[in-house]
Structure 1
Amino acid sequence: MNYRIKIKNIFKDIFRPIWHVKLNFTINRSCYNKFNQGELIKYKNKHNGERCFIIGNGPSLSIADLEKLKNEHTFAANSIYVLYDKTDWRTSYYFCQDSTVLRNNIEDIKKKITSTKFIKPTGYSQDIDDNAICFNVDYNNYKKRISPEFSEEITDNVKDGYTVTYSMIQFACYMGFKEIYLLGVDFNYIMKDNKIDEASYPDKRMGVKAGGNPDLEYNLLAYQVAKRHADDQGIKIFNATRGGILEVFKRADLDDVLGAKRKNDSI
């Protein structure tokens, strides 16, 4: 029995690198073909000077707040569609880059997300959404445990911050948004049995097909990099989350932000 296991492990060691090369080739073909690159380029400065809201799936996120964002540009990710049966709000841009999340939710993503979708492909044919725009992620800094970079050209890739929120911030800057508001980014998780507990989400259904566990230490590095980049480029990032523990960005009250726009529009 031990002999068979040893032989099996030898074959794994031999063929695993070959398989990863194949997967990477497929991913690159999806991301860097002429059509997909053209689709990404369309979003360069598309929203120059405008504002947007990046939605996290933290427990502070409320349906009432999503309702208020119906006429705003919004970014959301992963299992956000679980909330669609409670609200008429729909995100402007949807993101998924966690291979586990994509694999577990691909059919729902295909059916329930009708807005623009940006997806990091897994390389497996069963995870493909023909209606999505593909983007690649550079994981090198995370693997080396050094501070992430910030991508200004998402046609090349986005830099990994071990959170899709960081990728959405990079996309928002690429699209030309000058005011970015985070909402539902609690930066806090309840762990149970070494997994994220369903209480860490605004709806427990989100925890059923969730991805891997968080790395808040690296997330913090990413948010700090995002703030420095934004400051250098004259982009303002605010945290409009109701509570939470993320203090990298200046806090903003969502009602005040939305109320100020309504007041200006009425003048």
Structure 2
Amino acid sequence: MSRFDFLHNRHAGERVVLVANGPSLNRMDLRFLARETTIGLNKIFLGFKRFGFYPRYFVAVNDKVIEQSSRQIMALNCVKFISKHNGHLVPENALTYHLETGNPPARFSHDLEKGVHEGWTVTYVALQIAWYLGFAEVVIIGMDHRFEYTGAPNAANRLEGPDLNHFSPDYFGGGQSWDNPDLAHSEQSYSLARVEYENSNRRIIDATLDGACTVFEKADYRKLFELSK
């Protein structure tokens, strides 16, 4: 029996909030996340104290994110999914799972043990993980889907000054290196994810505040989570 078997459909029929890293998080009241099952992405730990929540699950597959944050990632007290090719930086343990991302079995994987497709965005990886865990509804917040950058998509870049593309100015700021986003390929991935979810009678809802992505069903997070204005 694989370690992944213990995770399969663990949350069948439940809702999860996928917390991306856009600056819109700074304009939201995120205290409601303490009552929700959450999946945090990449450097979300930079906002734990300010946002007042701690994720049940964590996902990071980007080489630069893991290289820059291996110590913080290893210290996280939650279930973590890390790309296998970065396993030397964040070794497997009771809470850490390595994902094969180099040769996925399908464009949208239904089996984490066989690997996942990176889909040009960690959000897509998280959607495959959420599907495997059995969640019937995934609510995405913080996926602003707009970036300021120079150069071509996927090109390596260095960000001088504060990071305006993420919720923290220190995210990639101060001269750290990062990879330019590829929004076109990301949208292709998201479209595939929507089809896969709807084919299994599940939903992906984009509740990002003023998010620019148009692939998923939209909702106001305040109404969705029954928050007072």
**Is the 1:101–1:210 Cα contact (8 Å) retained in structure 2?**
no
**Is the 1:139–1:160 Cα contact (8 Å) retained in structure 2?**
no
- Residue 117 of structure 1: aligned partner: 80
- Residue 205 of structure 1: aligned partner: 170
Matches within 5 A, 1:1-267: 37-38=2-3, 40-62=4-26, 64-111=28-75, 113-122=76-85, 125-128=88-91, 130=93, 131-138=95-102, 149-192=107-150, 195=158, 198-208=163-173, 209=176, 211-259=178-226
Distance 1:139 1:218, change over 3 A: farther
Deviation at 1:92, TM superposition (A): 1.1
Distance 1:176 1:124, change over 3 A: closer
Local SS of the residue matching 1:57: coil
**Is the 2:158–2:178 Cα contact (8 Å) retained in structure 1?**
no
Local SS of the residue matching 1:155: helix
Distance 1:140 1:134, change over 3 A: closer
Identical pairs, percent: 25
Deviation at 1:121, TM superposition (A): 2.7
* Structure 2 unpaired stretches of 5+: 152-156
What do the CA deviations read for 1:207-227 (whole angstroms, capped 9, x no partner)?
A: 245642111111010001011
Deviation at 1:154, TM superposition (A): 1.1
Distance 1:129 1:175, change over 3 A: closer
* Structure 1 unpaired stretches of 5+: 1-33, 142-147, 263-267
Total equivalences in the alignment = 218
Aligned AA (2:198):
D
What do the CA deviations read for 1:63-88 (whole angstroms, capped 9, x no partner)?
A: 74332111111111111101123233
Distance 1:55 1:123 in 2: 22
Of structures 1 and 2, the larger Rg is shown by 1
Could you list the structure 1 runs, at least 4 aligned residues long, displaced by more than 6 angstroms after superposition: none
Local SS of the residue matching 2:38: strand
Distance 2:214 2:88 in 1: 40
Local SS of the residue matching 1:137: coil
Distance 1:94 1:152 in 2: 18
**Is the 1:63–1:86 Cα contact (8 Å) retained in structure 2?**
no
